[in-house]
Amino acid sequence: MTYILGVNAGLGIFHDPAACLVDEHGTVLAFIEEERLNRVRHSAGVKAPALAVARCLETAGIDAADVDVVAVGWDEPRMSARQGAPWHFDSPRHLLGQLGFYGPQLPDLQFHPHHQAHAASAFHASPYDQAAVLVVDGNGEDECISIYRARRGQPLVRLERWPQVFSLGHLYEAASLWLGLGRRGAGKTMGLAAYGATDNVPDPGWLSVGPHGLISALGTSTGDDYYATKDRWHKRIRQFAGAAGPQQPTANLDADPNAVKVAAAVQTTVETVVSWMAGQVREMTGIDNLCIAGGVGLNCAANGRLPGELYVPPVPHDAGVALGAAWSLAAPREAVVFSAYTGGLPGPLPTDLGSVTAQELDVDRVADLLAEGRIVAVCRGRSEVGPRALCHRSFLASPVTAQMRQWMNSLKRREQWRPFGPVTHTDPGLWEPAGHLERYMIGAARLTCSGATALPAVAHVDGTTRPQRLEPGQEDFVSAVLDALVQRGHPPVLLNTSFNGPGEPLVETAGQAVACVRRLGADALVVDDALVLTGDRAMVPG
């Protein structure tokens, strides 16, 4: 058996280190982000995901000596040669040591271009035998947008790329910083943008499409680094807004016209450029099937507006290059849609549960709680990779009352203007189908009129929602709960959101789940085959 370990690691990375272990057939044995283990959201500044590497080896039941190749999702030597200090690549032995590999017999170390690793992670996870691939992020070694042609059994072919001055990722980050939402606040910015009437927002001219292609307000220079590009976008956003920042605090940004204008403008820019790029990559490759990777692939609203066959993996952001680097050496030979459940198991419940006790899991009891308007936390099976909770590390609730959105946002200590998405195991006819985007809750879909009426807790202000549809056999427990709810006259839909508190990653273990429920408050906790009734809701309905 040959083992290949892919990593998002190295001196050049800024966030989301991760590790992924595959065999020679490309079968994913384990894939987990460092943040789930060190409990630091995005793990910014962590250059070597040593905890994630160790967990992958433990999950597969092998030792470090069994790993044949370590594949890195960055061309570290090329970055080092171009940048010099502080991105100086010391030696393979030094990086391998940081990842937990020691001794005289070390695995081979190979480096793969960042965007190539992104493209591989999207295409080989998809159901397609051939696809056009679009990579859009902050930046790779040199580029921020790339176009690839992919065919199963053949090397990826890069057809075009654009330098950092065209970076949608850096522009969106600058807007999020201006809004006071932080460097990693893109998801909040996307949610805020829906409060703006985009038809009335003036075109800021940041990035646009002209008769000869993409135009950047920053020009065409290839010499700007990340910091210079970000600062230049910051100045452009301040000029557009006419202010140094919002007038309202974060909790009230939806009531700040200037903040909404900036969010809507940057979101419209992303949607315009991504839509044009999607057309370009399909035209250049002659292939209708489209895969998207890179951090901008997390923009559900932009994804949901794209026509045709589309696949975005559950981990399109930088953590995904751990998977792509591994698959650059051992790609799956057949098209099998990727399962996101690649992390660790919850482990046993803590022995000290205080005044509450665990009982055997009862689907009907859980359905009763949800039908009564209670909030149930779920920590079952292997954790899902990526930022979207897919029912293995989720808070679940009934979406049939508008109040539930307020209660859930209060429980999670979130801004009240932020939206939620639904999960189902059928086609309820309550939103427009979103195809493969529904697999991982990674695309917006427009609610039907009946859907907006029936599911007010997951209806965003612009009439969209971000759905997840469970495939047969994918998640038997939640599917059984949905069936039980239908028997009670409830629609086959639940509100599904991430099982975590503010500023922290999704819970990984049973102990973390118990601590999070105690800290935030929820009515019940499901851990594998146990049900814990807490009665600790942090707010009182009504």
**DSSP element (H, E) containing 261:** helix 257-285
Same domain, 139 and 238: yes
Instruction: With respect to residue 331, please indicate whether it lies within any of the assigned structural domains.
Output: no
What residues does 208 pair with on adjacent strands? 215
What confidence category does residue 539 fall into, taking pLDDT thresholds of 50, 70 and 90? very low
- In this prediction, residue 538 carries a pLDDT of 36
What confidence category does residue 227 fall into, taking pLDDT thresholds of 50, 70 and 90? confident
Same domain, 283 and 409: no
Q: Is 532 within 8 Å of 356 (Cβ atoms)?
A: yes
Which CATH number characterizes residue 62's domain? 3.30.420.40
What confidence category does residue 308 fall into, taking pLDDT thresholds of 50, 70 and 90? very high
- In this prediction, residue 534 carries a pLDDT of 85
In sequence order, what DSSP letters do the residues of 91-144 get, joined into one string?
-HHHHHHHTT--SSS--EEEE--HHHHHHHHHHTTSS-SEEEEEEESS-SSSEE
- In this prediction, residue 197 carries a pLDDT of 73
Same domain, 181 and 306: yes
Q: What domain range includes position 101?
A: 1-111
Rounded mean pLDDT of 327-336? Answer: 95
pLDDT of residue 541 exceeding 60, the answer is no
- In this prediction, residue 32 carries a pLDDT of 98
**Looking at the 3D structure of the chain, how many domains does it have?**
3
pLDDT of residue 540 exceeding 50, the answer is no
Instruction: With respect to residue 284, please indicate whether it lies within any of the assigned structural domains.
Output: yes
Among 69, 84, 111, identify where a domain stops: 111
Instruction: With respect to residue 387, please indicate whether it lies within any of the assigned structural domains.
Output: yes
What confidence category does residue 354 fall into, taking pLDDT thresholds of 50, 70 and 90? confident
Measuring CA to CA, which residue among 75, 147, 153, 152 is closest to residue 114?
Answer: 75
Q: What is the mean pLDDT of the chain?
A: 94
Same domain, 287 and 415: no
Same domain, 237 and 249: yes
- The distance from CA 528 to its chain's CA centroid, rounded to whole angstroms, is 24
Structure tokens at 204: 């800021």
Q: Is 291 within 8 Å of 133 (Cβ atoms)?
A: yes
Tell me: the pLDDT tens digits for 426-463?
999 999 999 999 999 999 999 999 999 999 999 999 99
Rounded mean pLDDT of 340-363? Answer: 91
- In this prediction, residue 9 carries a pLDDT of 95
Measuring CA to CA, which residue among 177, 171, 161, 133 is closest to residue 268?
Answer: 171
Same domain, 122 and 107: no
- The distance from CA 69 to its chain's CA centroid, rounded to whole angstroms, is 27
Which CATH number characterizes residue 388's domain? 3.90.870.20
pTM for this predicted structure: 0.95
- In this prediction, residue 514 carries a pLDDT of 95
Which residues are identified as catalytic? Answer: 15
Among 80, 111, 142, identify where a domain stops: 111
- For the sheet containing 3-8, what is the strand order? 28-33, 18-23, 3-8, 69-72, 108-111
With vertex at residue 456, the alpha carbon angle to CA 454 and CA 461, rounded to the nearest 5 degrees, is 130
Same domain, 130 and 82: no
Ranges 302-316, 346-360, 503-517: which has the least confidence: 346-360
Among 68, 90, 111, identify where a domain stops: 111
Question: What is the percentage of the chain residues whose pLDDT exceeds 90?
Answer: 86
Position with higher pLDDT, 397 vs 353 = 397
- In this prediction, residue 90 carries a pLDDT of 65
Same domain, 496 and 471: yes
Same domain, 54 and 179: no
What confidence category does residue 291 fall into, taking pLDDT thresholds of 50, 70 and 90? very high
Instruction: With respect to residue 344, please indicate whether it lies within any of the assigned structural domains.
Output: no
Rounded mean pLDDT of 386-405? Answer: 98
pLDDT of residue 515 exceeding 60, the answer is yes
Same domain, 148 and 75: no
Tell me: the pLDDT tens digits for 142-169?
899 999 999 999 999 999 999 999 999 9
Same domain, 99 and 144: no
What confidence category does residue 542 fall into, taking pLDDT thresholds of 50, 70 and 90? very low
Rounded mean pLDDT of 89-110? Answer: 89
C-alpha to C-alpha distances, 145 to 170, 177, 243, 535, nearest whole angstrom? 12, 22, 30, 49
Instruction: With respect to residue 342, please indicate whether it lies within any of the assigned structural domains.
Output: no
Same domain, 101 and 119: no
Instruction: With respect to residue 337, please indicate whether it lies within any of the assigned structural domains.
Output: no
- In this prediction, residue 535 carries a pLDDT of 67
Q: How far apart are CA 54 and CA 39, in angstroms?
A: 15
Measuring CA to CA, which residue among 534, 475, 479 is closest to residue 349?
Answer: 534
Strand duo 28-33 + 130-136: pairing: unpaired
Structure tokens at 207: 């990035």
Tell me: the pLDDT tens digits for 116-144?
999 999 999 999 999 999 999 999 998 99
- In this prediction, residue 83 carries a pLDDT of 64
